[in-house]
Amino acid sequence: MTNGTRTEPDSAYGPGSSDDGDIYRRFLADLFGVMAYGELSAFERMSSDARFSPTLHDRTVLGRLAVREYEHFECVTEHLVKLGLDPEAAMRPFQPSVDAFHDRTRPADWFESLMKFYVTDAISDDFYQSVAARLDPATAELVLGLKEEAEPAGEVLEARLQQALADDPRLASRLALWGRRLVGEALTQAQRVVLERAVGGGHLQGPAQGVYGDELKTLFAELTRNHSRRMSRLGLTA
Amino acid sequence: MTNGTRTEPDSAYGPGSSDDGDIYRRFLADLFGVMAYGELSAFERMSSDARFSPTLHDRTVLGRLAVREYEHFECVTEHLVKLGLDPEAAMRPFQPSVDAFHDRTRPADWFESLMKFYVTDAISDDFYQSVAARLDPATAELVLGLKEEAEPAGEVLEARLQQALADDPRLASRLALWGRRLVGEALTQAQRVVLERAVGGGHLQGPAQGVYGDELKTLFAELTRNHSRRMSRLGLTA
């Protein structure tokens, strides 16, 4: 472990030393790496899907949300640079699993893509907020600050989904099924990312250890509960 | 012509009166309507295509250019609102032709999409700059201001295309052919938009009349010349 990062060509971390600060830096590289790649991917998928919106108004609203994902991506990569880390190297380890998630959850139509962004955005927000509790204050502020918006994406998407379900109640059973599939895939994905990096990157030690182990179960139970609550607000069975 | 706009459901224009100011407002609604819809579409297509970029770096660079298109779109629609015009109504007449342009010019791969944005962005810039010369100073400033950027999209795209052509010289003949097809479609498109709106919307009168008629030929000859110059800079035959 001591100088394993030295020989890894894709590593975002600086020259390895095994003190706590170094382990924390690696943890931050992983955290911001997966956030950044997730946001870049969400931007691309969301803006592509926006094109199939039923109205021009929907296209512009979805476009704006996609742009916001890109702005978050830029904010996070700037922070990586400030930490002396290479954003591309930090993102790369998460590319296969995030891409696989999107490949396994291709929306069949515009309403399914709306639902996909609603569900996955909320779960990743919850996830990062929970992680933020374990970060130094400056980093926590950055992570939480990304979500402080005049008009949160979740609210915009929820309102639009409620309207769609009111316009066409037959959507409900399809979207409920799709919601269950999405939450399953998202949690599997999140778990894989955490475990892969926890084992592979040696993050079981250090200040971030609290995220792994038993607490992980508690966290995932909470993510599931919050998801069910959101589905209820849409009048759907989770 | 006097109150034709009153009965048109999609009209972005306010209640019709046939004075010069009103004709100019209609011209601005058309100009900003086609700009806005063109930018919204470019944003969606570009960000979708960015996903197929060969490297993460390319994805982030293309994503940034796409976001800029969305920012221009917002800037133009804000201006329409400031003029008391409805952006969606202003965009709607141009939706079929812009969509048709994109449908007829689907890139076969990432290099073709790079080329498409390079060619079409430059032609529309040239076109709007030429129109700007006929606008009131405040409006002209807005139109020209959109193009004043620290790192113009055209330069970024040109540099990337030059690199791609240096990396794989076999791309040259395919991209040259594609460039010819693109410029043909773009000019046909531009001409159709101008003529349709000129005839349908009665823009042959008023301060904007200079754009139509003989000057149109001169303008299109200039657009073609500039395109050829850009192709030469890439080492391609126009």
B206 to chain A, closest Cα gap in Å? 30
Report the residue from B44, B57, B64 with minimal CB separation from A47.
Answer: B44
The reply to whether residue A47 touches residue B66, judged by beta carbons under 8 angstroms, is yes
Contact call for residues B130 and B219 (beta carbons, < 8 A):
yes
Please indicate if any CB of chain A lies within 8 Å of the CB of B195. Answer: no
Please indicate if any CB of chain A lies within 8 Å of the CB of B70. Answer: yes
Q: How far apart are the first and last CA of chain B?
A: 42
- The residue with tokens 């976001």 is B67
Q: Give the whole-angstrom CA distance, residue B10 versus residue A210.
A: 58
- Residue of chain A nearest B41, judged by CA positions: A51
Please indicate if any CB of chain B lies within 8 Å of the CB of A48. Answer: yes
Q: Round the average pLDDT of chain B to a whole number and report it.
A: 84
Q: Considering only CB atoms, which chain A residues are within 8 Å of B74?
A: 64
pLDDT band at B61 (very low <50, low <70, confident <90, very high): very high
Report the residue from A57, A70, A77 with minimal CB separation from B88.
Answer: A57
Q: How deeply is B34 buried, as exposed, middle or buried, from its count of CB atoms within 10 A (0-12, 13-18, 19+)?
A: buried
Contact call for residues B101 and B186 (beta carbons, < 8 A):
yes
Q: Give the whole-angstrom CA distance, residue A63 versus residue A71.
A: 12
B190 to chain A, closest Cα gap in Å? 22
How many secondary structure helices (H) and strands (E) does chain B include? 10, 0
State yes or no: pLDDT of B176 exceeds 50.
Answer: yes
CB neighbour list of residue B165: distance below 8 Å, 6 or more residues apart = B171, B172, B175, B234, B235, B236
The CATH number of the domain covering residues in B18-233: 1.20.1260.10
- Tell me the domain boundaries of chain A: 18-233
The reply to whether residue B70 touches residue A63, judged by beta carbons under 8 angstroms, is yes
Contact call for residues B182 and B105 (beta carbons, < 8 A):
yes
The reply to whether residue B47 touches residue A44, judged by beta carbons under 8 angstroms, is yes
CB neighbour list of residue B101: distance below 8 Å, 6 or more residues apart = B185, B186, B189
What's the rounded mean pLDDT across residues B211-230? 84
What letter does residue A15 receive in the DSSP assignment? S
For chain A, list residues with pLDDT below 50: 1-17, 199-208, 210-211
Q: Considering only CB atoms, which chain B residues are within 8 Å of A36?
A: none
What are the tens digits of pLDDT across the range B105-161? 999 999 999 999 999 999 988 988 888 888 888 889 888 888 777 778 999 999 999
Q: Considering only CB atoms, which chain A residues are within 8 Å of B91?
A: 56
**Secondary structure class of A58 (helix, strand, coil):** helix
pLDDT band at B9 (very low <50, low <70, confident <90, very high): very low
ipTM above 0.90, yes or no: no
Report the residue from B45, B59, B70 with minimal CB separation from A67.
Answer: B70
Which residue of B37, B41, B56, B62 is the best one to mutate when testing the A interface, meaning the one whose CB has the most A CBs within 10 A? B56
pLDDT band at B18 (very low <50, low <70, confident <90, very high): low
Please indicate if any CB of chain B lies within 8 Å of the CB of A95. Answer: yes
A213 to chain B, closest Cα gap in Å? 32
More confident residue, B189 or B202: B189
- Residue of chain B nearest A86, judged by CA positions: B57
State yes or no: pLDDT of B8 exceeds 50.
Answer: no
Please indicate if any CB of chain A lies within 8 Å of the CB of B43. Answer: yes
Please indicate if any CB of chain B lies within 8 Å of the CB of A77. Answer: yes
Which contacts qualify for B190-197: CB closer than 8 Å, 24 or more apart?
B190/B123, B190/B124, B190/B127, B190/B220, B190/B223, B191/B216, B191/B220, B192/B97, B193/B34, B193/B94, B193/B97, B196/B97, B197/B30, B197/B34, B197/B93
Please indicate if any CB of chain B lies within 8 Å of the CB of A80. Answer: no
pLDDT band at B93 (very low <50, low <70, confident <90, very high): very high
A48 to chain B, closest Cα gap in Å? 5
State yes or no: pLDDT of B17 exceeds 70.
Answer: no
3-state DSSP helix/strand/coil % of chain B, to nearest 5 = 75, 0, 25
- What pLDDT does residue A201 have? 46
- What pLDDT does residue B10 have? 40
Q: Considering only CB atoms, which chain A residues are within 8 Å of B98?
A: none
What region does A84 belong to: left with phi over 0, alpha with psi -120 to 50, or beta? left
Tokens of residue A71, six digits: 């702005």
Share of chain B above pLDDT 90, in %: 58
pTM of the model: 0.85
Tokens of residue A102, six digits: 């999107």
Please indicate if any CB of chain B lies within 8 Å of the CB of A158. Answer: no
Helices in A83-213 by DSSP H: which ranges?
A: 87-91, 95-104, 110-132, 137-145, 153-167, 171-200
Contact call for residues B185 and B152 (beta carbons, < 8 A):
no
Which contacts qualify for A78-85: CB closer than 8 Å, 24 or more apart?
A79/A32, A79/A142, A80/A12, A80/A29, A80/A32, A80/A33, A80/A36, A83/A25, A83/A28, A83/A29, A83/A32, A84/A14, A85/A12, A85/A13, A85/A14, A85/A25, A85/A28, A85/A29, A85/A32
More confident residue, B100 or B195: B100
Please indicate if any CB of chain A lies within 8 Å of the CB of B59. Answer: yes
